[in-house]
Chain A
């Protein structure tokens, strides 16, 4: 169906430069240049006020990698990304299946699903900060009234509950985009394939396993990769919900990096830049490993 778009005209690189030039300037100037600046910064030492003092060699990296907080932060990041991405994908698959059925009121359901996506993450995070509040939060009140819990839970202060609470909020705000990706993917599967499977007597679950999932594979890959990147880089949820806890006990690599540069007592820009480089490399490797693992080329050829 999409094969015919392979026929493209040819153009000279000079003409291409005219058409792509503006986009290139912006990408090089505001994405690549800061990336290079980040690397350069990571090899320099800075005063607390942000003035460059000179070369630092690899000391920023050794300081960062030997920091006693790092193992905890890396662990948090792994749990945060894995839990949010996996649970989001599973729930979104179900939700997308539901949203792609015809029924009365579907339009309103789709609009409601958009709301957490359209709302700024920082606003939703502030909202959940209050909802999950120990004293004033409606969640504790509701659970107490329903006798689910016998005494209030400090969702955002108790070390056992802070990360799980943040993960729950992370999933809540990530589902809408993911579900819409899957709705789009499901729409792309031609209806006659299902018709044929039904005539062959396949049960709904068999049809789902044998037809829907394989045909949804490209979308699934995109959804996992994009969500890995977005969730890893997600800042507001953790920044706001973990805002009143001291130390780095609930931080992910992103908020840890941010605190090193802008909030900690040291204000160490060089150290934070080293953390930034580490983060970028880590997410690149994670995505590459994932694509390797699911055998990207095989999958896209079959699809």
Chain B
């Protein structure tokens, strides 16, 4: 079954060559490998993001405008649901307001836009003001879909944030009911200070900054669904413990259930934020345990000799958990009910690790080395499996060792780590494996986790 889906992907290079030769084929992604509901493989809306019109003579304006323009364009291109009009095909006049736009120009060749985002940007007395519109070029009688105004302290960071917000407004209206991800964050592990600490960045790799400074080894960051707290695992005097960092207070807060001896690893929030699953060897063998998010009501879910680790909840129902178990030898992906019943093995061999459950509840993304064995280090790649049918699709090919996929909240993207030699970096891609982009450059960045909103 899977072979026929893979064949579609094998034909991609030919399609791409056709595209490059000038034929625009908006329907080239029309074959979805299963019905995902993500809109990724459907007909894409042809969208133009005009350069915004600079207003006033403030010397800061040109650089803020450049930051804003590129951020907005990238956000819309990254969304995975638009066929973006190349800037070189845009009409030469930059419209700064609804009165200044000539929609028929944008709707005509070569831009051939269905939708146009445009507006004006100015900075005055340290304030950044942005007016943005989204117009339907094919409906000149009543074109306005969106009109927004933003006023922020003038800085490159706020120019980026305003662009992210405007992009998410556009995506919310054109994205088939799924919110955009331009305002989301990615938490990750970086050793660039010498020890592995938890770091954070914007979804596009901008604004990378350190969060924890424990000076030991901190791993497996998992952000709470409401962005209030960050759970992670860290080694200290008591061995590996589950720790909590409050992003609201900017300091560690206690999580008593994570400290009871043995190795406590790989925390995972339920989708409603009320529970955490994690691996603990406090009773001897590493097993999956669950506690309320305040640390109470602790209980053990699995009881089988062998490593059990890396749980992830079905975020749609919160009634199932997928995890990694070595109970039959090499690690495999399993799912069970949230009370430990109905255990089902999902992978049929090889070395399968690091599951992440998609926001829709339909898919598992995980890392799999299907030919793993002594003397055959082979490739470790990211796969997506349709849970109901157990059909899978390989997303990465022949490009280093890939691990720790994490879904974006719109279910259209994955962030993951890619190791080449001893360099580990964080990458993103669309959930069909296309449009892979590297986000970090330090060589020491791993274990990404995408925020829930």
A binds B: no
